[in-house]
């Protein structure tokens, strides 16, 4: 599959075929050109050229599908051009960490009509007019904390907090908000400890055993239920944990500052729960909400399926899938 949107699709497909081993090349039975903007007939000559050079058929030229922006992004490259989504009254800023993870946590917020969500790129300051700053998850908390400081975002975030702005840290972002992060076993680099941002009175110890589990919880400030999942290294403890973000079977999870403006949690995917998302946003002054997130995603997937049926030779692809395996 070649993505024509970024350019160079002919060179990409022909070049790929020229460098792979012959045993692998004989397993290739066709190609697709994806994300074409404009009339696909305009690519007819390019399609014929590719078929001649590649020696395999083109199984479809798929036009750009605008609804794709409503689906979870495939990888972090989607954040390169993310910019600002929406033009609603509640302004949310998310710093683009160098090792950012689980960025689909943001998708349900990005699609809300009363939200303006901006991905702040490296080199840009955190906007001074943000109502909420979300520190997202990270594949390497300590390294991304250093990256965060290198951008000057630590200064911006503390100024935001002094102005009364809200902050939410998710997983690695939660760990960064605390006073200290301890890595006694050197899981993320040399063993030792680093200062956190100090906005929550908690400390984190990174541990070798990763926590991975699905979770049913209740958000403490709004009392609303939510479904989420955890995937993290480390244990976070401290005085602010006495004011948890949520409870899980009567077990406290996460932390809040005394005034409730700074919150941290290990829970990913919480904003996909409609009741929680709406209650959380309502607590920040939002009064109008979009449709159910799950319903919106399902409708978009159905529309994408119809789109592909119209532009891809699915019958040929299914026939290829039933052919005998090559030795």
What is the set of active-site residues? 171, 268
Contact 26, 56 (CB under 8 A): no
Q: How is residue 121 annotated by DSSP? A: P
What is the spatial distance between Cα 177 and Cα 317, in angstroms, rounded to a whole number?
A: 49
SS3 content of the chain, % helix, strand, coil (to 5): 35, 30, 35
CA torsion angle 202 207 212 215 (round to 10) = -20
What is the spatial distance between Cα 14 and Cα 56, in angstroms, rounded to a whole number?
A: 11
Give the tokens for residue 99.
Answer: 């090792």
Give the tokens for residue 47.
Answer: 């399609």
Query: Going by C-beta distance under 8 Å and a sequence separation of 6 or more, which residues neighbour residue 302?
Result: none
What is the spatial distance between Cα 310 and Cα 59, in angstroms, rounded to a whole number?
A: 12
Alpha helical stretches, state H, the chain: 9-19, 22-25, 44-54, 107-110, 141-150, 153-162, 172-177, 274-282, 293-311, 314-322
Residue closest to 200 by CA, chosen among 167, 229, 247? 167
DSSP 72-91: --SSGGGGTT--EE---SEE
Longest dimension (CA), the chain: 68
Give the tokens for residue 210.
Answer: 């990763």
Query: Going by C-beta distance under 8 Å and a sequence separation of 6 or more, which residues neighbour residue 170?
Result: 102, 105, 134, 135, 136, 137, 264, 265, 266, 267, 268
């Amino acid at each position: 599959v070649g993505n024509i949107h970024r350019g160079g699709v002919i060179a990409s497909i022909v070049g790929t075929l020229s460098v792979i081993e012959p045993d692998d090349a004989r397993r290739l039975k066709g190609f697709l050109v994806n994300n074409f903007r404009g009339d696909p007939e305009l690519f007819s000559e390019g399609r014929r050229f590719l078929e001649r050079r590649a020696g395999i058929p083109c199984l479809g030229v798929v036009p750009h599908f605008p609804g794709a922006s409503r689906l979870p992004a495939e990888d972090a490259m989607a954040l390169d051009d993310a910019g600002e989504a929406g033009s609603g009254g509640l302004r949310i800023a998310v710093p683009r960490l160098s090792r950012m993870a689980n960025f689909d946590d943001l998708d349900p917020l990005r699609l809300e009509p009363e939200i303006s969500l901006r991905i702040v790129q490296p080199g840009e300051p955190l906007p001074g007019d943000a109502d909420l700053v979300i520190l997202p998850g990270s594949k390497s908390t300590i390294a991304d904390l250093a990256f965060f400081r290198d951008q000057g975002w630590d200064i911006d975030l503390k100024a935001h907090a002094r102005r009364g702005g809200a902050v939410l840290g998710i997983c690695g972002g939660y760990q960064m908000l605390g006073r200290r992060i301890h890595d006694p076993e050197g899981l993320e680099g040399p063993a030792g400890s680093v200062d956190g941002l100090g906005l929550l009175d908690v400390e984190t110890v990174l541990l070798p055993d990763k926590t991975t589990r699905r979770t049913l919880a209740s958000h403490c400030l709004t009392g609303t239920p939510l479904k989420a999942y955890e995937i993290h290294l480390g244990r976070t403890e401290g005085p602010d944990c006495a004011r948890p973000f949520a409870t899980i079977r009567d077990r406290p999870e996460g932390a809040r500052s005394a005034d409730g403006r700074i919150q941290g949690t290990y829970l990913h995917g919480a904003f996909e729960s409609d009741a929680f998302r709406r209650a959380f946003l309502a607590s920040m002054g939002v009064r109008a909400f979009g449709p159910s997130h799950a319903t919106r995603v399902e409708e978009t997937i159905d529309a994408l399926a119809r789109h592909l049926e119209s532009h891809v030779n699915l019958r040929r692809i299914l026939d290829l899938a039933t052919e005998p395996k090559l030795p």
